[in-house]
Amino acid sequence: QCDLTGWWKNDLGSKMQVFKVENDGTFSGEYHTAVSSAKKPPQPSSLVGSQHLDEDGQCTFGFTVNWKKFSDSTAVFVGQCFDGDDGKEVLHTSWLLREKVDSQTDDWKATR
């Protein structure tokens, strides 16, 4: 069973801490990004998510991070947990980031 509880680090040096996964799969935590295009320095930001609990342990999950402490943006991540070659759990994720824009005509550049 994949246990998301604890610290995770990605290839760019960002870190995430999942505090506890509840019995229904919901969880919360903090994301510490190492990369940002915001003018203010990054700060730890809260995250909330849900994990699909299944029998083979290679669960899918998703979570949202609100960067409100230093940016006008929100990110969503989706992924799956795998057993790595070294026996450690590995998360593979994809993300979308939505930045605030000033007008509807600028909508085209708001999502990465």
DSSP state, residue 106: G
Mean local confidence (pLDDT), 8-31: 94
Report whether CATH 2.40.128.30 matches the domain 6-109.
yes
First to last CA, the chain: 32
| pLDDT for position 46 | 94
Could you write out the three-class secondary structure of 25-81? CEEEEEEECCCCCCCCCCCCEEEEEEECCCCCCCCEEEEEEECCCCCCEEEEEEEEE
Helix (H) or strand (E) holding 92: strand 89-99
Domain spans of the chain? 6-109
Q: What is the pLDDT of residues 49-99, one digit of tens each?
A: 999 977 776 789 999 999 988 888 999 999 999 888 888 889 999 999 999
Task: Convert the pLDDT of each residue in 40-59 to its tens digit.
Answer: 777 899 999 999 977 776 78
Please give the pLDDT value at position 15. Answer: 95
CA 25 to chain centre: 15
Mean pLDDT across 10-34:
93
Sign of the CA dihedral with 28 first, then 78, 61, and 6 last: negative
